[in-house]
A and B are shown apart, each in its own frame.
Chain A
Amino acid sequence: MNNWLPWTTGSATIIAWFVIACGLAQTAVYLLQLVLAALALSRRPPVARATLLWRRYSDVAPPVALVVPAYNEEMNVVESVRSLLSLEYPAYEVIVVNDGSRDATLDRLKEAYQLQLVTRPYEEALSHAPIRGIYASQFSNRLFVVDKENGGKADAQNAGINVSRAPLFCVIDADSILEPDALLRAVHPFVDDPVRTIAVGGTIRIANGSEVSGGRVSNVRLPRKLLPLLQIVEYLRAFLMARLAWSRINSLMLVSGAFGLFRRREAVEVGGFTKGSMGEDLDFVVKLHRHMRDNRRDYRIEFIPEPVCWTEAPESLDVLGRQRARWQRGSLEVFFRYRSMLFNPRYGRIGFLGFGHILLVDVIGPVIEVLGYILMPAFWLLGILAVDYLLAFTALVFTYGVFISVMSLILEEAELRRFPRARDLVILTLAAILENFGYRQLNNYWRLKGMWQYARGGTGWGEMTRKGFAKQAK
């Protein structure tokens, strides 16, 4: 074992130190996020009761168009639209865009809301696949359904933006449910800083296991299945913590396509969502940053944790794997499409922090972590690494993972506290430990798979099988 050529040992040492350096940089990023998120929470605007919110904002809240792209959403679409029509907001319209669904999405909507074909003039500001017809509901003058040929999610969103007339639009997935006061809470920055605010994101929560009735999440419960449970902790860590942190320093790179509020004018200026993009939401926000910075305009893209949007998480490994691989492809696609922004002083903290974060966490992160898992035991086998160090490094990696996950639970407890029972919190803390053993590694595997697909030019979204809200908690 000890007769290996010295250059082998030297190369191995360099690789090992590179892996360790990247690991340390990631560790520093997570710590920074934790501190910034805590700071953001300590300085967040007060959480008001819904009745107070209404009194505070109802006479000054700008009109909002909810743009809901729907593709093969027959399971959830009626329930989702019902929830959207009962939002507590003074002036809004709901524009569902049926993106050439192959299932009965349009028929379900026609039947449930008594839709009729209408003529609605709209601005052809963004290009998209042809619209076959626009329908209005006999039940509600807030609801419009745009039936168009299939062109993908971004294409459907662009059609919705065209048809909308409000100064703000909110994109929301058709498989999601907004809390009744979510829009009123999300509009807060647009009221308080109307000139600079161009986008606001809210919290995405997992509804698996919760009871849904009348288009609302009526009883919040934890899912009984392990996979969605682990995703809840992951969402808290990756989404709540990270977005709070980056928003605090105006470097938020992602407003989720499942729930985001945008100013229409800037959206049109940047050409809307990029068609065919795997990560159309990330791509869109990066475009907004680039546009505003190129034009030297003062702006804010904010994340507020209180407005909550509930979504259905994948319950099978197959579907989850496809989703994560797609997310990874989306990140890579955006990173390489806008690579000129990386460490470019013209883009300030977006170029350094935002893109630096994507580089570290999304581009080289999965490779480094998997390399670490492979190399450490390999070095031990080769006699380069002593068993004491192997064990110590392994322990540190896992305890740090548990630490970050558990700390993100503090944010949930301090801010949202959506899971009412103390028992739920115990289960979540246990899940925070468990996710580091197996789930995290699996995630890395899916991300590597996404990288491979990206390298091979894969563009498919993959089938996303849904159970449907109507069947939740049964």
Chain B
Amino acid sequence: MLYGLWISSLLLATISLLVMVGLVAARLFRAHRQDRREQARKRLLPAFLTFTEDGDQEAFLGKVATVPMSTTVDLALEFLNLMRGDEHESLVNVLTTAGVAKELISRVTRGDKTRRIHAVEALPFFPGSDTLAAFQRALKDRSADVRLAAAIGLVAGGSTMPLSDLLDELRVGDLASRRLVGLFRRLPSDRSDELRTILTSRDTPSIVQAAAIEALGTSGDYSLLPLFAASVADGEPEVSAAAIHAIGELAHPAGAATVVRALSSEDWQVRAEAAAAAARIGLDTASRQLSELLEDDEWLVRYAASKALFNLGTEGRSVLAEVARNGKPRSQRTAALLLAEEGYEA
């Protein structure tokens, strides 16, 4: 046992020492590599600046050939993020010639997760069939971040892959992410039918339905109102709340009946969204119901109702002022506080 104790101590001490030396050596190596990258970056930066001024492709490509591709990729992404219009297009062309797109495509399936996700998120700068094919491959990636970025890239890049097939490719966990909203928002308006189909399908999980509604809600397409109204009636509370919010975003009077019904929903989130939507639509006729919501058990509903009354304009504010003077204690307090917050005397 004594021997074992000493051997264990020696082993632990040796491992510790090796780790310490290894860590320092690795850090020195990394620092050296970073230094070289910094030097290369300093050499290449003027070439980027000059190209944005004179557009001389040959000179630019000559400079690019003298530095490692990783330096060109890093600087390329920084510049592409900053530039717009013709300059952006011209830079994309020359960088494609320099092999940046090809490098990013090869990185999609090569290297660690960080490298893969960066490549997938940068590739939309270089649209084309090769990029779309790379996104298709990335849909099979082990990382959810990579898969979702690839799906967004595919949709934004004009892929004709049906949305339902795309969602089938994603895994269950991916479909719980709020990034789905981003994915749906990037869908071109001429493909909104696919989102409608997803929304009406009974197989679609409620969180995906809510994301689809959220994305469609900012489209300004009034023809969606019946679909949203149906979602309010049939959906889970989170779907109904998203649908009411979307109706409010559209702010079309045709949504009034649905909003008025939702003001008496059993779910507090739906009631709160309905109060806000009533104000957006300018639903003066809902003043009485809104004033009743000032007695709601949920504070957020009470606040949303008071805010909605205030935002309805003169009529709503007079209702609010009246409640602040003569209402029940809870309503009175809610109304008075809201008026005070907005700088009005009760």
Contact = CB atoms under 8 A, between A and B. Distances in A.
Interface of A: 45-49, 51-52, 55-57, 59-60, 62, 118-125, 165, 191-196, 388-389, 392-393, 395-396, 399-400, 402-403, 406-407, 409-410, 413, 422, 425-426, 429, 432-433
Interface stretch (B36-44, B132-140, B159-167, B334-342): B334-342
Contact of A46 (B5, B143, B173, B338): B143
B5 A389 contact: yes
A19 to B, nearest CB: 15
B107 to A, nearest CB: 12
B121 A422 contact: no
Given A392-B6, A422-B24, A120 B341 contact: yes
B257 interface: no
B27 A425 contact: yes
B24 A403 contact: no
A50 to B, nearest CB: 11
Interface string B142-155: 01111001000000
Contacts of A396: 5, 8-9, 12
27 contacts: A45-B145, A48-B117, A48-B121, A52-B121, A56-B121, A57-B179, A60-B178, A119-B340, A119-B341, A120-B341, A121-B306, A123-B299, A123-B300, A123-B303, A124-B299, A192-B176, A192-B177, A194-B176, A194-B178, A392-B5, A402-B16, A403-B13, A407-B16, A410-B23, A425-B23, A425-B24, A425-B27
B118 interface: yes
B24 A45 contact: no
Contacts of B112: 46
B185 A429 contact: no
Contacts of B8: 396, 399
A60 B9 contact: no
Given A195-B207, A392-B6, A425-B23, A46 B185 contact: no
A48 B116 CA distance: 11
B26 interface: yes
A429 B20 contact: yes
Contacts of A48: 114, 117-118, 121
Contact of B143 (A45, A399, A410, A432): A45
Interface residues of B, number: 50
Nearest to B238: A195
Nearest to A393: B5
Given A60-B179, A194-B178, A409-B23, A399 B16 contact: yes
A429 B23 contact: yes
B59 interface: no
Given A45-B143, A46-B145, A403-B16, A392 B173 contact: no
Contacts of A392: 2, 5-6, 9
B156 to A, nearest CB: 12
Given A192-B173, A433-B16, 6 more contacts: A46-B112, A56-B149, A195-B176, A392-B6, A396-B12, A406-B20
B31 interface: yes
Interface in B25-84: 26-28, 31, 81
B146 to A, nearest CB: 8
Given A46-B145, A393-B5, A410 B121 contact: no
Contacts of A60: 178-179, 181-182
A202 B81 CA distance: 29
B113 interface: yes
B346 to A, nearest CB: 11
B9 A422 contact: no
Nearest to B180: A60
B178 A191 contact: yes
Contacts of A165: 300, 303
Contacts of B16: 399, 402-403, 406-407, 433
A399 B9 CA distance: 6
B15 interface: yes
B19 interface: yes
A62 B178 CA distance: 9
Nearest to B218: A59
Nearest to A421: B31
A410 B177 contact: no
Contacts of B2: 388-389, 392
A395 B5 contact: yes
Contacts of A46: 112-114, 116-118, 143, 145-146
B114 A410 contact: no
Given A192-B176, A410-B19, A422 B145 contact: no
Contacts of A47: 114
Contacts of A196: 176
Contacts of B207: 194-195
B12 A399 contact: yes
A413 B118 contact: no
A402 B299 contact: no
B10 to A, nearest CB: 8
Nearest to B11: A399
Contacts of A388: 2
Interface string B110-138: 00111011100100000000000000000
Nearest to A188: B145
